[in-house]
Amino acid sequence: MGRELEPRRNGGSGGPGSSFCAPISGPRRGGSRGAVRARPGPPGAGQSSDAWPALALGVSACSRRARDSAKLQRADRDPKAGPDGILSPGTPCTMALVSADSRIAELLTELHQLIKQTQEERSRSEHNLVNIQKTHERMQTENKISPYYRTKLRGLYTTAKADAEAECNILRKALDKIAEIKSLLEERRIAAKIAGLYNDSEPPRKTMRRGVLMTLLQQSAMTLPLWIGKPGDKPPPLCGAIPASGDYVAKPGDKVAARVKAVDGDEQWILAEVVSYSHATNKYEVDDIDEEGKERHTLSRRRIIPLPQWKANPETDPEALFQKEQLVLALYPQTTCFYRALIHTPPQRPQDDYSVLFEDTSYADGYSPPLNVAQRYVVACKEPKKK
């Protein structure tokens, strides 16, 4: 039988019954504060790669920022404010949060204008596309290609190409705005975390609800941006299966796969968030993403694998994806642990997930049935495939 993982009070399922990247055996039950336990994670299926949900995510954050701003105002009126206003006026964190709010509001306004420009550009180019279609229909009716039609079509296609490039440029600017908004929201979250200011959807670590954690992880997978390069561009590091560069240092707030050791000596790869990195010691401080663990770990670089920052597009950059039967570490559905797995089927469309086979000794062939895992939670495993 495979390794039994600790049952959760929330009803989350455990991972596959096998070891992964480091031998792990025996059930995980109870244990001390330092024990690393299986934990629920996001379902892998049904993720979307559409960039526009990020706008909705940013807009929905406005109401949360409004609540935080009210707390800041109470803190400004009363330096000794209690739980509803815990920052003193004029503190760097207060100023940083207010500045981030202002910039995010500006960016959302600019993004709205860009979306309107996109629709206007598309409507304007529609007339030219209709003319191209009508010209082809006339040519078919007359059953000939005269010099007149050739000249006309050349002009129409030149205009269509220019229109498409103009729309593409606007869309790229909009995607840049979305990326900046998401970056500011993340910086704001970290600043609020340091200051001790939390909102209703992001409560302190000790009170994080399981459902909230699952929603946040699922949103992270759904809103991971799709890499859209210009003609001739190659996907950058941390796009899909492309690893980080050798000198890459993950930023505070980045999500990583971290190899941690429990008090009983067992090791496993968990989903974690970077707190800091010391260039003096070349070590990271990371927080276990599972709030029930409440664990902070100090780990060397070799025990950290940064998660992808972009999805790879199978239609344009298939080389940036893990291929069939390639060995990976994948986040097991309904846990926040990474396990060894083989790629069963790579994504076929931008919105698709990987289909993977987890190593599991409880099955005759040593592998689980195919399970879906989002690109966000699949990383390389350099250890050899089991025999």
pLDDT attached to residue 47: 34
More confident residue, 284 or 12: 284
From CA 80, how far away is CA 254, in angstroms rounded?
33
In tens, the pLDDT along 27-81 reads 332 333 333 344 433 333 333 334 444 444 444 444 445 444 444 444 444 444 4
- pLDDT (tens digit per residue) in 247-290: 999 999 999 999 998 777 889 999 999 999 999 999 999 999 88
Locus of tokens 């039988």: 1
Give the C-alpha separation, 300 to 245, whole Å. 16
Pairing of strands 354-358, 337-345: antiparallel
Sort 272 into a burial class: Cβ within 10 Å, 0-12 / 13-18 / 19+. Answer: buried
Helix (H) or strand (E) holding 273: strand 267-278
Q: Which of 157-161, 176-180, 246-250, 288-292 has the lowest mean pLDDT?
A: 288-292
Of 341, 274, 331, 265, residue with least CA distance to 38: 331
CA trace torsion 214, 215, 220, 224 (10° rounding): 130
Return contacts of 163-168, CB within 8 angstroms, 24+ apart: 163/121, 163/124, 163/125, 163/128, 164/125, 166/121, 167/118, 167/121, 167/122, 167/125
pTM, full prediction: 0.69
